[in-house]
Structure 1
Amino acid sequence: MAHSTAGAPHTDAHDRPPPAGPRRWAALALICVAQFMLVLDVTVVNVALPDMAADLDLDREALTWVVTAYTLCFGGLMLLGGRLADALGARRTLLAGLALFTTASLVTGLAQNAPMLLGGRIGQGVGAALLSPAALSVVTTAFHGAERNKALGVWSAIGGAGAAAGVVLGGALTDGPGWPWVFYVNVPVGLLLLAVLPTLVPARAPLPARLDIPGALLVTTGTAALIYGLVEAGDAGWTGAASLLPLTGAVVAYTAFVAVERASRAPLMDLRMFTRRPVLAGVFLMLVATALLISFFFLGSAYLQHVRGFSPLRTGLLFLPVAVATGVGAHVGSRLVGRIGSRPTAVAGMAVAAAGTVPLTRLPENGSVYAGLLPGFVLASLGIGAVLVTAGTTALGMVEHREAGLASGVVNTAHEVGGSIGVAVVSSVAAAGFERGSAGGFGDAFTVCAVAAAAGAVVALGLVPRGTPQQAGGPHVH
């Protein structure tokens, strides 16, 4: 998805990277701030959901879409965003995405009803899908050799930091000036970046690239229909027409997407990537791990505030050890992948996630959450962190270098889409917990998470290739 000019036989003055020195690193710092905002907005809303529901009279379905509308558009349109960065130029696409994200953040904060709120979240997701791959393209073309590895290391670290900061900042802002500030905070930052980035990021000639608009629309529509059907199942039941019709529509859209991609001369997604076992394994691990992690934030926030009466800030602070544990798990996982290989690391990570989730299946109506909830959350997050890093290193470290960009794009799409699907499923399973404020519904949802993690360990045992990836890490979006 991100293209590099490294390895070109020669360059002229136009193709050289930006001048060495502080300007290039200053550009990286600001681009990372922009990426930080995008990652932040995946988790920052979770703690604010109960206050949004109270102010705007939102039901469970609307709350679910507040989370999934963003990740759906972010993930569903990310590959198209990468192609647009090639076709229009990375700087132009980056600035367009940033402008849209900033404007949509303002609209979301000003929302007076559910349609305006969800419209703003959709706009944020589309802006993020333009900004993120374009920003990564700028990073990979501005740095070379050892400098590029260092720059990509900084970029990759943004993901864990954004998730951790999201829950705490979301709680602090919701408890303080109010939930709209969860979105307003993006506006001054976005405006500052729009003013300064054009002076630091050089314009480059666009690359010839065809745009697969039908493919992008089909895959995003199919995923939206899938999520809609999963959310509706909470009220209509899993066999009701309200859930079966959109689920059937999702199958039709995905089938059409496959047909379009096979016929296209410049497909959005090279479906042959899924015949590469490392990529298939990486996509599977990323889908399951992200679905579990985002579901934990969603369910945990709702349980703590709906059932246990926690304030948003107290909820956010309780999640801080969970976010830190995810980062620690990723660090340990990256070491283990290099020493014992991808398969044992993935299986162990999934097993630890399942073991940590088991205590959460019996959430109490009262008693100490620090004894009954936090240990399981932290243990499960350690395992999930290890799986997340294994997903990326397996997909990127076991394919040819020329395919790394495509593999990275597919795995990053799975990252966002996995979060959307996970939240949709657990929202439906926990419907009783949302409507009646009972712990039982949340316990049922965590049971689904435990089963999914255990099943993931079994599948990983057969799917993840043996051996050690040739490279640890790569140009992940986050």
Structure 2
Amino acid sequence: MSAHRRDSSRRHAYAALLACSTLGTLSSTIISAPINVIAEAVDASASGIVFAVSAFTLAMVLCSPVAGWMCQRFGSRLVLGASLVLMVIAGAGAAAAQDLWYLVLMRALQGVACSAIPSSVQQVLGRHWPENRARVMAAWASAIGVGQAIGPPLGGLIADTLGWRWVFLTHASLSLVLLVLVVTLVPSVPAVPTPLHVSGMMTLVAGVGALVGAFAWAGQHRSAVVGIALVIVGALALLLHVLIARRSERAFVDPDHLADPRFLAGTAAAGTVMCALGVAITATPLHLGRDVGLGPGHIGLMMLSLAVPLTLFAPVTSRLSERFTAVRTMRVGLVVLAAALFSLGLAFALDHDSLPLAVALLAVTGCAIGAVQATSAHVLMTSSAADHGTALGVSNMLRFAGLAVGYSWVAATWAPDRLLLVYGAPVAVIAATWLLAGAARSDRVPSRPERTLLDDVH
């Protein structure tokens, strides 16, 4: 194969991988604008429809570690293709939903499918495009941002013109197209015969799943006894996981990877920013639809003010990281995110119709989320966990757990007179992450930016 054809194939494969990241995010955000229409169709309350959103993310939390192991054991391209097949099936099933619980089931199945996308894409990118990871991870974050940008307006437009069921059918169709591209374009990553440490995997999934499940349960205003029981089960399962990992020579995840300060900082920042995003993309459409009276199309346009800056600011972040280091840029992004999110809640609480101010604050929030997403991915991929599928699976598990917690927080607290609490409480989590990120400040500023495939693509 000539050098020109080889470079062309790499560009096409790279674009297909980024498109898969966009699709994964789109599966979550495409229902945010028509969320009130869907709730009315399946006779769901505000907390009920948010639970349907949370089911998607909870399934991702539970399945991400196993998906990471599967990428390592069977090869990333094979796992990515299988996840897209399941995404098609789940999307078609969600379109046929007649009640809330069937919709919850199909959304959970979509989450199972989507759980494999981040680890598989990250692993292929790390294997075949190792040059200048800051820019590669910024492009990956931008691809996620595209899904966050086009999801709300696309979902709102489809719901207004064709009906809400076509929202899911459109996503299923896009998944089918990407399946063809992945099979034909994306290079393989050799499978590594890695045995599955069953007890380590089960205790980890049970621990994190029970804790996130406790948040989801609380969001549905159910029995506090069950919620407390889930917290106890989760804590005990994680304690058992630690004991097993210390005594086993083949732990499910090497404890040294999880203890790496850069893994901890990158994962904590990713989970925190997803929690803030979960609050913003569920509480805002609920408020705009139920309190302000906007329809799905107008809500989708409003949410563009968050998503477009998120997408556009991620590439800028790579330049800032090269100049000031990724950790410093990440910490500044966390500060801006905390201020913007609190201000957004304050603006809605003081004046429900303050749409111009809301647009400006959503834009600042989007810039901050884009900066933290890109830098947290960069920090993670420079840790010792970068080449290990199970460790990346755990990182993505905790990232999705942050999103699930954000959704559950909205379900538990949302009310027209509690908007400042809904938007303001995540600021405490952001502050804790800012402190933790200080442990990873040992990164170095590159002497000069390297040329990568991204330069060729642009």
Q: TM-score, normalised by structure 1?
A: 0.82
Shift of 1:54: 0.7
- The alignment partner of 1:133 has SS state of helix
Contact 1:74–1:126 (Cα < 8 Å) also in 2: yes
- What are the equivalent positions in structure 2 for 1:223-262 lying under 5 Å apart? 223-234=208-219, 236=221, 240-262=224-246
Which stretch of structure 1 is more off in the superposition, 251-260 or 463-472? 463-472
Contact 1:225–1:247 (Cα < 8 Å) also in 2: yes
Distance across 2 between alignment mates of 1:56 and 1:67: 14
Distance across 2 between alignment mates of 1:277 and 1:345: 17
Which stretch of structure 1 is more off in the superposition, 175-184 or 239-248? 239-248
Who is 1:47 aligned against?
Answer: 33
- Indicate whether 1:299 and 2:276 are aligned: no
Opposite residue 178 of structure 1, the aligned amino acid is G
Distance across 1 between alignment mates of 2:114 and 2:102: 18
Contact 1:307–1:365 (Cα < 8 Å) also in 2: no
Q: State the Cα deviation string for residues 340-378 of structure 1 (Å, max 9, x = none).
A: 234443332222122212333332486643234222222
Contact 1:236–1:243 (Cα < 8 Å) also in 2: no
Contact 1:100–1:127 (Cα < 8 Å) also in 2: yes
Who is 1:10 aligned against?
Answer: none
Opposite residue 219 of structure 1, the aligned amino acid is L
Contact 1:342–1:466 (Cα < 8 Å) also in 2: no
Contact 2:219–2:410 (Cα < 8 Å) also in 1: no
Who is 2:54 aligned against?
Answer: 68
Distance across 2 between alignment mates of 1:174 and 1:440: 29
Who is 2:441 aligned against?
Answer: 465
- Indicate whether 1:78 and 2:64 are aligned: yes
Which stretch of structure 1 is more off in the superposition, 286-295 or 74-83? 74-83
- The alignment partner of 1:206 has SS state of coil
Which stretch of structure 1 is more off in the superposition, 207-216 or 402-411? 402-411
The answer to which structure, 1 or 2, has the higher relative contact order (CA under 8 A, 6+ apart) is 2
- Indicate whether 1:388 and 2:412 are aligned: no
Distance across 1 between alignment mates of 2:77 and 2:284: 39
- The alignment partner of 1:267 has SS state of coil
Who is 1:4 aligned against?
Answer: none
Contact 2:71–2:389 (Cα < 8 Å) also in 1: no
Distance across 1 between alignment mates of 2:197 and 2:124: 22
Q: State the Cα deviation string for residues 90-127 of structure 1 (Å, max 9, x = none).
A: 34322221111110111111111222211111211211
- The alignment partner of 1:77 has SS state of helix
Q: Pick from 329, 332, 348: which aligns with 1:348?
A: 332
Contact 1:356–1:375 (Cα < 8 Å) also in 2: no
Shift of 1:148: 9.6
Equivalent pairs counted in the alignment come to: 448
- Indicate whether 1:114 and 2:100 are aligned: yes
Q: State the Cα deviation string for residues 410-442 of structure 1 (Å, max 9, x = none).
A: 433332221111221232122xx1xxxxx2122
Q: Pick from 439, 448, 452: which aligns with 2:425?
A: 448
Shift of 1:219: 3.0
Distance across 2 between alignment mates of 1:203 and 1:345: 33
Q: TM-score, normalised by structure 2?
A: 0.85
Q: State the Cα deviation string for residues 56-97 of structure 1 (Å, max 9, x = none).
A: 112344323222222232243223223223323334322221
Q: Pick from 272, 275, 278: which aligns with 1:288?
A: 272
Which stretch of structure 1 is more off in the superposition, 317-326 or 376-385? 376-385
Distance across 2 between alignment mates of 1:325 and 1:153: 14
Who is 2:19 aligned against?
Answer: 33
- What are the equivalent positions in structure 2 for 1:115-134 lying under 5 Å apart? 115-134=101-120
Give the % identical residues: 23
Relative distance call for 1:385 and 1:204 in structure 2 (3 A) is closer
Note the residue ranges of structure 2 that are not aligned, 5 or more in a row.
453-458
- The alignment partner of 1:40 has SS state of helix
Contact 1:28–1:151 (Cα < 8 Å) also in 2: no
- The alignment partner of 2:425 has SS state of helix
Q: Pick from 162, 166, 172: which aligns with 2:157?
A: 172
Contact 1:347–1:460 (Cα < 8 Å) also in 2: no
Opposite residue 468 of structure 1, the aligned amino acid is R
Opposite residue 387 of structure 1, the aligned amino acid is V
Note the residue ranges of structure 1 that are not aligned, 5 or more in a row.
1-12, 434-438
Which stretch of structure 1 is more off in the superposition, 89-98 or 421-430? 89-98
Relative distance call for 1:242 and 1:335 in structure 2 (3 A) is same
- Indicate whether 1:186 and 2:163 are aligned: no
Shift of 1:301: 0.9
Which stretch of structure 1 is more off in the superposition, 111-120 or 459-468? 459-468
- Indicate whether 1:101 and 2:87 are aligned: yes
- The alignment partner of 1:373 has SS state of helix
Distance across 2 between alignment mates of 1:119 and 1:31: 27
Relative distance call for 1:271 and 1:175 in structure 2 (3 A) is farther
Distance across 2 between alignment mates of 1:390 and 1:154: 11
Q: State the Cα deviation string for residues 320-344 of structure 1 (Å, max 9, x = none).
A: 1211222344344333332223444
- What are the equivalent positions in structure 2 for 1:201-216 lying under 5 Å apart? 201=186, 206-216=191-201
Superposition CA RMSD, Å: 3.4
Relative distance call for 1:83 and 1:347 in structure 2 (3 A) is closer
- Indicate whether 1:377 and 2:362 are aligned: yes
Who is 1:90 aligned against?
Answer: 76
